């Protein structure tokens, strides 16, 4: 019997690689590559190649569960839905809608994120957010304010057309491996590559110039580049006059960022800053790629705005090979934001504190009394749960007990809730704290659309059935909504997408039938529109059609080192794992390659600490301590150490300080100390 090839999209990073699942007799037998895919051209990285390993994993949740003493009792869906209606309903009745928090998932489809936030808001609750808060919330705030659209401006494949590629705060060679192929292609065609990162990573191997800057000094570096460009008259005058506002304010604010002063702050030689500024400004097509090294700071929004300022100064936008490219982490983090799974926005980035937004969605959903105003962000939900202001939570596909900073505090806060329901594919550390656990389908077991980091909306088709009585997240949300007295009669994902087409202008023409074979790129306002691979080609969707310069000042990270905690801990990803690791750490071929938590330490620092490669060390911060295996390297700056965040023990250490606006934690800078274990 021949196998059927079902087209799908990789559920790990947001590069959005496509491939086929070969299915025979209802089983996923293997992967077939998709050579005509516009992003990965048939290639997959190690995570993509291993993705089927988790489908039949014995840890998959197969039936709804209720907490019973220290253990779990299997229950029917009917019983589970009764418990949820009772748990959420009781908080609603006793303490009002603001006492409930809804945490949505960037792993889930657009349709699921859309319905999840609709469920929250339909019962009057403003507190709906997603894990986008922990990765790219500053991109949403900063890019909306400066450029008027919170998305990557140019397609991934367009990187190949660039002549100067500036990568800051992104280890894309490990985190978006397939995407780095396009950087290599540009380099082979003569592009200059500049990489700024506190750590020498695999990405720096492709750099012509490497800036090992001090963690948290990105604004100083970016302003220093702007200073040189302004001082040397390398700005694009006609572009600035035609397309921007606020230039004079920026010029005034950049005066103090001389290369010498910036060299003092960042540790990058002044001459290198001048040369990089000239390369970026003079190249006919320059692009800036960034990721969580930029966003996960108390200055995350400022960092993003400083990047946009640089691109606007030189008119490096709206053309082939140019742009500002935030590289999103999880497969559908762009889509979760687009769909309004954010405390500040309804779908389509309609402001939650604008009465017009409420009127629009009340009419569109046929519901009165939708909540006006921003809700609690994911990080604030944890704070409010600890304070007793949040009494119940519904968490879909997220693991805040592992991924929140100072994770032991997050666990205590979740335990303090009167009621917690978690819907997931595995029993995560968060699910272990729940009153009710619901078994969900993985991406291959359901239909739906996903929006990659380049704003490409792709349809992923159901290939196989979920295990046991697990259901798609969409099906579960509809059942919960029904039990809460709402009419969520959506027969399938396609019918939800049809509603999205009506209410989210960017997705107006992104209908199911137009998504084969490789999707459409938003904004795509109507059914005849071809999609918009390059943003801002014809100007900006801001007041007067002009982008805004937003001058920002350098501020040091919130938590300084001290004599007690003399090292800066920075966290990030490794090639073979993803986010909190619930999937990749259950994938045998990946887990074998990176089985445990490690700490990268500079060779000279290690010598002073009397630590050898492979020694166990205790890493402690003001919040707690954990054990890791030391990995000695000359790729770390002295005084800086690195730990991957795929192991739940990492966030015991991380700082709870957040960016004032985007409310993202400063995962990239925490003060710590290291001691060798006996
Ligand atoms: Fe999946 Fe990202 Fe790897 Fe592509 S690069 S195969 S999307 S993890």
Beta sheet of 448-451, edge-to-edge order: 448-451, 456-460, 520-521
Domains in the chain: ranges and CATH: 4-54 (2.20.25.90), 65-133+333-520 (3.40.50.740), 137-326 (3.40.228.10), 567-676 (2.40.40.20)
Ligand 1 midpoint to CA 43 (Å): 9
Q: Is 34 in the pocket of ligand 1 (CB under 6 A)?
A: no
| Percent of the chain whose predicted confidence (pLDDT) is above 70 | 100
pLDDT value at 484 more than 80? yes
What are the angstrom distances between the C-alpha of 111 and each of 84, 89, 368, 447, 512? Answer: 21, 24, 22, 9, 12
What are the backbone angles phi and psi of residue 7, rounded to the nearest 5°? -70, 140
Ligand 1 midpoint to CA 40 (Å): 8
pTM of the model: 0.95
Tell whether the torsion through CA atoms of 225, 227, 228 and 234 is positive or negative.
positive
Q: Any idea which residue has 């292609």 for tokens? A: 185
| Contact residues for 304 (Cβ-Cβ < 8 A; gap 6+) | 138, 139, 141, 142, 143, 146, 290, 294, 295, 326
Mean pLDDT of the region 154-160: 97
Ligand 1 midpoint to CA 267 (Å): 34
Please tell me the predicted confidence (pLDDT) of residue 330.
86
pLDDT-derived band of residue 541, with 50, 70 and 90 as boundaries?
confident
CA distance linking residue 167 with residue 76, whole number of Å: 50
> What is the rounded average pLDDT for all residues in the chain?
95
Ligand 1 atom nearest to 51, measured from its CA: 1
Ligand 1 midpoint to CA 568 (Å): 30
Ligand 1 midpoint to CA 349 (Å): 27
- What is the DSSP secondary structure assignment for residue 577, as one 8-state letter? -
Q: Indicate the top mutation candidate among 40, 179, 443, 451 to test ligand 1's pocket, ranked by most ligand atoms within 8 A of CB.
A: 40
Ligand 1 midpoint to CA 179 (Å): 8
Q: Is 39 in the pocket of ligand 1 (CB under 6 A)?
A: no
Mean pLDDT of the region 567-572: 94
Under a CB-based contact definition with an 8 Å cutoff, are residues 663 and 133 in contact?
A: yes
CA distance linking residue 641 with residue 629, whole number of Å: 12
Token pair, residue 485, equals 């007295």
Q: Any idea which residue has 């702007």 for tokens? A: 226
CA distance linking residue 219 with residue 644, whole number of Å: 24
Going by alpha carbons, the residue nearest to atom 3 of ligand 1 is 45
Under a CB-based contact definition with an 8 Å cutoff, are residues 26 and 2 in contact?
A: no
Tell whether the torsion through CA atoms of 467, 472, 475 and 476 is positive or negative.
positive
pLDDT-derived band of residue 317, with 50, 70 and 90 as boundaries?
very high
pLDDT value at 538 more than 90? no
CA distance linking residue 577 with residue 47, whole number of Å: 7
Mean pLDDT of the region 482-491: 95
pLDDT-derived band of residue 150, with 50, 70 and 90 as boundaries?
confident
Please tell me the predicted confidence (pLDDT) of residue 365.
97
Q: Indicate the top mutation candidate among 9, 10, 21 to test ligand 1's pocket, ranked by most ligand atoms within 8 A of CB.
A: 10
CA distance linking residue 327 with residue 282, whole number of Å: 24
DSSP string, 126-186: --EEEGGGGTTHHHHHHHHHHTS--S-SS-GGGGGG-SEEEEES--HHHHSHHHHHHHHHH
Token pair, residue 329, equals 């982490």
């Amino acid at each position: 019997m021949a196998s059927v090839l079902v087209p799908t999209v990789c559920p790990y990073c947001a590069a959005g690689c496509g491939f086929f699942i070969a299915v025979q007799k209802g089983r996923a037998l293997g992967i077939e590559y998709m050579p005509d895919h516009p992003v990965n051209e048939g290639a997959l990285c190690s995570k993509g190649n291993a993705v089927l390993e988790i489908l039949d994993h014995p840890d998959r949740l197969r039936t709804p569960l209720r907490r019973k003493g220290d253990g779990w009792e299997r229950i029917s869906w009917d019983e589970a839905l009764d418990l949820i209606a009772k748990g959420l309903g009781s908080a609603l009745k006793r303490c009002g809608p603001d006492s409930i928090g809804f945490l949505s998932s960037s792993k889930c489809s657009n349709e699921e994120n859309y319905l999840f936030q609709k469920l929250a808001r339909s019962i009057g609750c403003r507190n709906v957010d997603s894990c986008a808060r922990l990765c790219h919330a500053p991109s949403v705030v900063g890019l909306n304010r400066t450029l008027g659209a919170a998305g990557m401006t140019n397609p991934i494949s367009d990187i190949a057309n660039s002549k100067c590629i500036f990568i800051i705060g992104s280890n894309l060679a490990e985190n978006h491996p397939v995407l780095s192929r396009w950087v290599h292609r540009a380099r082979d065609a003569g592009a200059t590559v500049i990489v700024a990162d506190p750590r020498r990573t695999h990405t720096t191997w492709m750099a012509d110039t490497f800036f090992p800057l001090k963690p948290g000094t990105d604004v100083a570096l970016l302003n220093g580049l702007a200073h040189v460009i302004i001082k040397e008259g390398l700005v694009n005058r006609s572009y600035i006059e035609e397309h921007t506002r606020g230039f004079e304010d920026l010029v005034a604010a950049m005066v103090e960022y001389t290369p010498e002063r910036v060299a003092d702050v960042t540790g990058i030689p002044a001459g290198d800053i001048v040369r990089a500024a000239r390369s970026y400004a003079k190249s006919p097509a320059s692009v800036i790629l960034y990721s969580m090294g930029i966003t996960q700071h108390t200055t995350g929004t400022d960092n993003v705005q400083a990047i946009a300022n640089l691109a606007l100064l030189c008119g490096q936008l709206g053309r082939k090979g140019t742009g500002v490219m935030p590289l999103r982490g999880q497969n559908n983090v762009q889509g979760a934001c687009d769909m309004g799974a954010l405390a500040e926005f309804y779908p389509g980035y309609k402001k939650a504190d604008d009465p017009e937004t409420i009127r629009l969605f009340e009419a569109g959903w046929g519901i009165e009394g939708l909540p006006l105003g921003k809700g609690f962000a994911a990080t604030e939900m944890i704070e409010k749960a600890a304070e007793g202001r949040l009494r119940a939570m519904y968490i879909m596909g997220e693991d805040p007990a592992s991924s929140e900073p100072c994770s032991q505090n997050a666990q205590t806060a979740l335990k303090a809730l009167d009621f917690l329901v978690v819907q997931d594919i595995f029993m995560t550390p968060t699910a272990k704290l729940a009153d009710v656990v619901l078994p969900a389908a993985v991406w291959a077991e359901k239909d739906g659309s996903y929006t990659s980091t380049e704003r490409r909306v792709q349809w992923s088709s159901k290939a196989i059935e979920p295990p046991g009585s697990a259901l798609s997240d969409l099906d579960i949300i509809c059942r919960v909504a029904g039990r809460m007295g709402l009419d969520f009669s959506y027969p399938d994902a396609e019918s939800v997408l049809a509603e999205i087409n009506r209410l989210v202008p960017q997705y107006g023409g992104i209908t199911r039938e137009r998504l084969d074979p490789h999707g459409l790129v938003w904004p795509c306002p109507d059914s005849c529109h071809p999609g918009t691979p390059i943003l801002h080609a014809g100007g900006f969707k801001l007041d007067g059609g002009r982008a805004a310069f937003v001058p920002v000042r350098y501020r040091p990270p919130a938590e300084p080192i001290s004599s007690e905690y003399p090292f800066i801990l920075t966290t990030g990803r490794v090639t073979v794992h993803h986010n909190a690791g619930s999937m990749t750490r259950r994938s045998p071929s990946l887990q074998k390659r990176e089985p445990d938590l490690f700490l990268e330490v500079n060779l000279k620092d290690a010598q002073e600490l009397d630590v050898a490669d492979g020694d166990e060390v205790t890493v402690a911060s003001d919040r707690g301590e954990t054990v890791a295996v030391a990995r000695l390297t000359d790729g770390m700056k002295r005084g800086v150490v690195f730990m991957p965040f795929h192991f739940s023990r990492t966030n015991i250490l991380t700082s709870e300080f957040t960016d004032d606006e985007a409310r993202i934690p400063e995962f990239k800078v925490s003060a710590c100390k290291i001691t060798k274990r006996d």
